Structure 1
């Protein structure tokens, strides 16, 4: 053991974490067995503990593991046998009185069909009483509510409400009693405690001040930096921060609290306050920040990690900080066991460990080589955090960022002042709008710099490389990094590694796309792998220009596909219909590319979707134009003929007819005729067949992700050589239908699926269109 490290509590922290995972993932019986085993082994270790240090350490591990296992067994048994959990297994309805422990958080995952994810919000609550099958239940416990956003958005933590809903089992690995689907407004709403109401008013004051004083991107970013509220951040900006490895700046983390408490310490030091007063002041600031952000598990976790960061900075010694980190992990897991399965908790622990273990040594090494103190720490801190968290990020996302470290180096110097000015604006907003505006104005340059850094870093070609996802990928990267860190202790190897990194950054990354075979030259259409949705790209024959037909369910995947293709201009974006899995990526498209116009059909339903399309288009000064049967648009290498819908039908259709109101396009390209059908089902297919229009096409974009609602007569009329099905891997809709796939295959049609192939390019061939899947140019097949 290195004399500079105190690892005595680290095994205990690892044991507590492991035992907690067993209780969460395996169940109460396994936790009880571990508790009994620890109880049996402790007497065997006690005699040796009187004389040997290793035995004393083992005794501590056994005692803490046993206490943890016993507590998990009790908690898991209580959750598993809770009357509401039993009702949840049968999907029964209930009426419950609960106390909210969090404010409603709109869901931002992929949306499908007519309902957008943001229409639903997640609320955590503590159950007080419930009525199940006419039986009154008084047993409490944590529950998760899935509620309508519009009717719940004004509620805050601490309020007591009555809900009526349908119970469902919670996700595995949780001590939550049940998840409750609620479709009505809350009843019997009680006021929140005064301190919760005051904190909510402060948060609203920050959002209002930022919206009044800053541009859209900066106004959405400031609440994210201060309290982790990203609800107002434009989707394209959020995407840039994610690609640049800067998302952690917009989550309430230990860094936020370290900045705020560090500023308080600095101020108290400048006025000559003593150590006791300084500690009390910093502690008050920490508590106040927790109240402001909300005492939720993620914030409490951040408070503990922020306190450790402050301790490390104050003491300047790794030996003192590491035991505190281990003790904090133990305490947090005993208090909030569900943190054991939280990626955020794991990332926080890893980043804090990197801060207290690696960063001081690396900063000292840089200072010894003549690097100024401030610059040495500015390089060492983000580099250490990135190295220790990279395996976890790779395991979770399947990617390794090559731009995260330089992006964080550029962003780091302005994060602290922007956060401090944001906190000051929040605190003074109730007292003086002018003063709050002044602090917000002072934060503006830093916020704009962060937006610029994220934008430029996200635009770097090859800035993120694909990696093996899951535990295996994380362990592989961790092993490689460990080998590199050990090897770097030799001077010659450091030089070789430095040269290798320069070659990777300067040579391999820029040419990676060029030699990968993607994008394949001469493509006419690309069906982007956007998950469970549609996202098609049509080349116009002009360099770096393409028409887009639908944008998928989220802001990231369609935009990334266009960037891989080298598209810069989109003269026309066609939204075949207004379901979320076809329009979800529009905001990202408008934010990243020069878009000429957005085309929509005559049916403007669902109404919420049309409002969202208009709002996003107006924000980027892009016109929304109508598209209907009989229209034609042409470019040098592309002609679009609109075959449907008939505008006369829109007067009799409703939101339920949105699929059959899809825009149907016949694209004439160098690769042949391409029929793009949106989500048309049996009625619309019948109208196309009876219209007498020539439906023959070389390539068919199969309607509605290959659903069963496609008639063989329609497929026979099209007679495609190639059929493309845009569908999400493992979707819950059963798409594509085996019947449709078999019908196409029996007709000799090559059936391609984005869930199997990834991005699919259609291009001219000597005997008709051929296709190439992204990342495998040898799969080009002539048809």
Structure 2
């Protein structure tokens, strides 16, 4: 592009029939596995779709469709095959559940197909059930100790089929029939053959890396071996997610390109025929996919490279979007459960989005920020190449983030705002780390030489992590965003369809105005909720756990963070961008599990806990101790610590912080008691000391269990509204009818988050003002 010349608009992308067939098949399979109808009904619908497809080939239909008969045939064929594949998957899951439900678990072999991850209930991983030497289907396997990838075990255990609810639906969508809990392992056999050799090499490489020794080594293990346990334990996964660069670690096309380039350079001196050279490169990249545990994103990338090589050898130019769509469609039909795996969906969305819109995104970036005139002159060629590389990285990141936003926001309830910058800055460092890491892995049999490569990896990895943490520490690097996946995907599809249909020419002035309008709207929304949040106490629906949000204007504090990452979605749907602090009442996982996630999306850098309690601190956070009598200010709210009266270690319900809440602005008032998991004896002691009396609002202790509150204390508190936080269908029977009866007998309106969703209690002139996420409230 010469100086002063506007960039040329690329041609409108050709969206092939394979692309539309892929979209239809994915929607069909995901809907079928979510709804789980009778497989026979699905087979009937599949047959009908295939018959309609056959009719499209008839001359009358071809004349009627006027050139669209090919597209109609492709769509109906994809629909029929998707329905048939879904029927087969549901029938297979039913057979596996019946087998494991009617026979001892020890009668079957279980083969680990992925690395296990550690959680509060032990280790969990995906396994295949082998019956009479044949693969019957997939299940979750949980155990007290990890089982290596590829290992086949026999065990004494218990099988639990998928239940109704979100977890059961998620497992079914991933092709898993339920969960096997391994109580005692009877035998184990490592993988054999070529796969066994590759996996044993992987174990040797992981051992040589010593992933637990530093952040750089943990990152290296995730990058070249796809082993992310050390990254998770060191909190690195959260940092990568907040910067929007988790895809750099996930094994996919970028890894295979570099592996292929290094292998190609090594083979360049050998005089090999093109076909043999291609076969060797495909074999080496395939071995690398197996080495990494064969994640869906890597399998998809390898299959695409296979299609591209075959096309090249045949003398035909491959159409990238067609190739990507056909490969993804083949994977979905061969294994419908892959459509429920986030890695597969993100990988397919990124590749198809880049193939279709990558050139237009670069056109937009170049229109908005053309290269400086100095870079267009011959002496600045190296700088010009660097500018082009950054421009391309930015363009691809913008496309990838746009097409994956519905999936990311619906799954993680967060969106990285620094992702474009992070990808531009970190991509070169990451490529260097990957190249050095592959060299180190190849030298595993020569420890002294490998040490040199690992030392170089440490330098690059440390620099990468330093840059990453600096980006994560930026204000609003990551924000909480709540989205319904289906609605967001439909909105994205409509927007992309409109863009492709319109395909406008861009001007710098028009693009700048559009970006400015979007930025102004986003800023206004942010200011509204960041600086002028309503004065309220909100008991968040986070399932079986506690999370209470207290806001007033620019001040916001979270009391407990719930289990897992459910709190991020709750914060997102309540437009929370910032937290001054997180108060931890005690150390049970259903109160602390979301602590790191909450800090990542809100920038919380202060964690408060009772005297003697040491909660797990998110990266960059500091601990502030609360003692009996201390008062925390949240705008015009006061939270006074009324229990416990001395040091505790936070491991028991009785150690829970109890906070007396008050608000008075002259026209509105609110009083309340937040109890954590404290039970009736602890609350009775607080009342006996006279630190709390009649209140407007009670956050019921221990999820409304039978021992939450004495009837006489419920009468003393006389709360106008009492709210328990519990998960729908929880196995503990919370809230207990005895607790509900005692509170209602004392004149309280009882609400539970399992029924009402988020419950908001605001100060009022004549008592509290209560509203609910679901329903109209009391």
- The alignment's TM-score, normalised by the length of structure 2, stands at 0.75
1:123 Cα deviation after fit: 3.2
Question: How many pairs were matched up?
Answer: 724
Aligned residue for 1:437, secondary structure, equals: helix
Does the CA contact (< 8 Å) of 1:127 and 1:143 recur in 2? no
**Separation in structure 1 between the aligned mates of residue 129 and residue 499 of structure 2, nearest angstrom:** 48
Does the CA contact (< 8 Å) of 1:530 and 1:728 recur in 2? yes
Q: Find the partner of 2:231 among 230, 233, 243.
A: 233
Does the CA contact (< 8 Å) of 1:387 and 1:481 recur in 2? no
Alignment pair present for 1:535 and 2:547:
yes
Q: Find the partner of 2:108 among 97, 101, 114.
A: 97
1:283 Cα deviation after fit: 1.6
Does the CA contact (< 8 Å) of 1:244 and 1:404 recur in 2? yes
Aligned residue for 1:187, secondary structure, equals: strand
In structure 2, the residue matched to 1:706 is 704
**Separation in structure 2 between the aligned mates of residue 14 and residue 524 of structure 1, nearest angstrom:** 44
Correspondence 1:486-565 to 2 at 5 A: 486-487=501-502, 489-491=504-506, 495-505=509-519, 507-516=520-529, 520=533, 527=539, 530-536=542-548, 549-554=559-564, 557=567
Alignment pair present for 1:124 and 2:118:
no
**Separation in structure 2 between the aligned mates of residue 693 and residue 748 of structure 1, nearest angstrom:** 21
Does the CA contact (< 8 Å) of 2:675 and 2:701 recur in 1? yes
1:126 Cα deviation after fit: 2.7
1:489 Cα deviation after fit: 1.0
1:35 Cα deviation after fit: 5.2
In structure 2, the residue matched to 1:325 is 324
In structure 2, the residue matched to 1:681 is 679
**Separation in structure 2 between the aligned mates of residue 50 and residue 535 of structure 1, nearest angstrom:** 60
In structure 1, the residue matched to 2:353 is 354
1:291 Cα deviation after fit: 1.9
Does the CA contact (< 8 Å) of 1:318 and 1:356 recur in 2? no
**Separation in structure 1 between the aligned mates of residue 598 and residue 364 of structure 2, nearest angstrom:** 45
1:692 Cα deviation after fit: 7.3
Does the CA contact (< 8 Å) of 2:544 and 2:730 recur in 1? yes
In structure 1, the residue matched to 2:464 is 447
Alignment pair present for 1:86 and 2:85:
no
**Separation in structure 2 between the aligned mates of residue 311 and residue 443 of structure 1, nearest angstrom:** 36
**Separation in structure 2 between the aligned mates of residue 74 and residue 415 of structure 1, nearest angstrom:** 41
Cα shift readout 1:584-626 (whole Å, capped 9, x = no counterpart): 234557885444764367xxxxxxxx9xx56x35997967979
**Separation in structure 1 between the aligned mates of residue 301 and residue 589 of structure 2, nearest angstrom:** 34
**Separation in structure 2 between the aligned mates of residue 365 and residue 635 of structure 1, nearest angstrom:** 49
Cα shift readout 1:448-501 (whole Å, capped 9, x = no counterpart): 2552365146x417856544x132332123213433454451446x74343121
Q: Residue 455 and residue 401 in structure 1: after superposition, are their counterparts in 2 closer, same or farther (change >3 A)? A: closer
Unpaired runs of 5+ in structure 2? 1-10, 372-383
Cα shift readout 1:655-676 (whole Å, capped 9, x = no counterpart): 8xx3345343445676665433
Q: Find the partner of 2:610 among 589, 599, 609.
A: 599
Does the CA contact (< 8 Å) of 1:538 and 1:546 recur in 2? yes
In structure 2, the residue matched to 1:223 is 221
**Separation in structure 1 between the aligned mates of residue 310 and residue 463 of structure 2, nearest angstrom:** 27
Supply the RMSD in Å over aligned alpha carbons: 5.1
1:141 Cα deviation after fit: 0.2
Correspondence 1:62-211 to 2 at 5 A: 76-80=90-94, 82=95, 84-86=96-98, 94-106=105-117, 116-117=120-121, 119-129=122-132, 140-148=135-143, 150-151=144-145, 153-169=146-162, 171=168, 173=172, 178-193=177-192, 195-196=195-196, 198-199=198-199, 202-203=202-203, 205-206=205-206, 209=209, 211=211
1:379 Cα deviation after fit: 3.0
Unpaired runs of 5+ in structure 1? 109-115, 130-137, 602-609
In structure 2, the residue matched to 1:659 is 653
Alignment pair present for 1:579 and 2:588:
yes
1:102 Cα deviation after fit: 1.9
**Separation in structure 2 between the aligned mates of residue 238 and residue 51 of structure 1, nearest angstrom:** 53
Correspondence 1:415-426 to 2 at 5 A: 415-426=430-441
**Separation in structure 1 between the aligned mates of residue 639 and residue 228 of structure 2, nearest angstrom:** 41
Does the CA contact (< 8 Å) of 2:607 and 2:621 recur in 1? no
Does the CA contact (< 8 Å) of 2:300 and 2:328 recur in 1? no
In structure 2, the residue matched to 1:633 is 630
Q: Residue 334 and residue 462 in structure 1: after superposition, are their counterparts in 2 closer, same or farther (change >3 A)? A: closer
1:325 Cα deviation after fit: 2.0
1:293 Cα deviation after fit: 0.6
